[in-house]
Structure 1
Amino acid sequence: MSHPLFDVSGRTALVTGSSRGIGLALARGLAEAGCTVVLNARDPDRLAEAASALPGDRIHTAVFDVTDAPAVAAGIADVEERVGPLDILVNNAGMQLRAPLLEFTEADWHRILDTNLTSAFLVGREAARRMTERGHGKIVNVCSLQSEVVRPGIAPYAATKGALKMLTKGMCADWGPYGVQVNGIGPGYIETELTRPLVADEEFSAWVRRRTPAGRWGRTEDLVGALLFLASPASDFMGGQILYVDGGMSSVL
């Protein structure tokens, strides 16, 4: 029997950007732990397909653009009306654009900033309006190993993830007094649809394995335990922290 501190059954959770990859794996973990789970993305067909693959009969979908403030406000209001009050929010929506910084366009800069950072502010703010009134809630922002360190070609991505780390701390400062815990997960190199080209690159893959004490790429399910901890009563006295799930990569040179 599991310890009651880690029990999240009966809670309602929204996971943004959860039609595939890390978001879908986190949603699956919450569903398996007994949560009512709301999947979010912009593509209704892909979202419906993802929802049909999750266990249980308490899986819902919410189609809205997390970078559009009015759409976010309407989307969160609709979810709470249709599914119930949100106990857990996972700000997972994100993207990667790789290019040398000298060649990075303003349009791409604003796109990656909106997707990776502004979305967490918009969705977090709307969810927290309600959570702070109710006096409880858990917000988990999906940060990155690149919240701390960077490689050539991904400076804008690292800038968004570093800012998301500080937004996590800022949300903690503002909303902690109202019973809302805000923390983050910092995945290392995780094998997903989006990173498949990197995994397929023999030289890069060998570098990742050498550079990581655990000696392998991460799997999406490696992130679920950290999320369940941060979404459960076990983390009630934690705020503004980032749990790095990176096989030890950020700890070694």
Structure 2
Amino acid sequence: MKLKNVGWVALSGLFAMSLVGCATQPGQPAPAGSEQAVEQAENQGPAAEQAAVDQQADAQTAEQEAANPAELQIVDSGWFAADNGMVDFAVQVQNPNHTVEAVDPVIEVVGKDDAGNVIFDETIETPGVLPDSTYYYSYVAGSTAGGSANATEVVKPSTVEFSIATPADSWKATDQKLADVYTVQDNGAADTQFGAKEFTGTVTASETLDGATQSRVDVVLLDKDGHIEGGYFKIVDTEPGQAADYDIYAVGAPEYASYAVYASPWTGADAA
């Protein structure tokens, strides 16, 4: 009988030791309510707490931007006048908001002569500008003649000013961003037989932004310091994951040090 009791005690001890071994194996979740589970929860606490703080901050940012979004910013711009007085220009536009898109922004272009008189004042509707995103827009503005309706003298502006505004009711919440969506393969620029520059390449969109089935490709001309001198653009049909060819003709382009090619979704905005 004593031997039997001793054997039972030994087996009980082995069983207890096996439980301890299981509880302390690394990488294994501890049983709920155990001392080890409490320790794991304490170790994960700071990370979980920080995640909750970040989530709350994001919600507050979204609420604040929805009520009072920051205005779009024109970071850089450049232009040049053709012989007929028309102005080719390009602007770099940033949306500093993190959660809201500017749906219907409008660019105002004002050209003035040497005396400060307004030669032309035009507004151009542009596609939406997604949050935390930078866009490049190239357009044409200006007038081929100044003065009365019978005037034939070409008047070139001395200065051109740019501004951008978004109607108060034209902001919407979104988590889409422009970055890393477009891939541009630049195939270079070549002189054509009629004196223009031809820029060619392909553009690929990894996904659809703003429901757009088309994209605009902007060739932005830069000076030696990397500032914008002007630009040209073309609209191309794009499908996610498929490369689309572009060829952009730059007529009357000025001397430039370099150029860059950008792409963005096109939703059919037109010049006004």
Q: Same fold (TM over 0.5)?
A: no
TM-score by length of 1: 0.25
Structure with bigger RCO (C-alpha 8 Å, 6+ apart)? 1
- Report which of the two structures shows the higher radius of gyration computed on alpha carbons: 2
- Is the helix fraction higher in 1 or 2? 1
- Is the strand fraction higher in 1 or 2? 2
TM-score by length of 2: 0.24
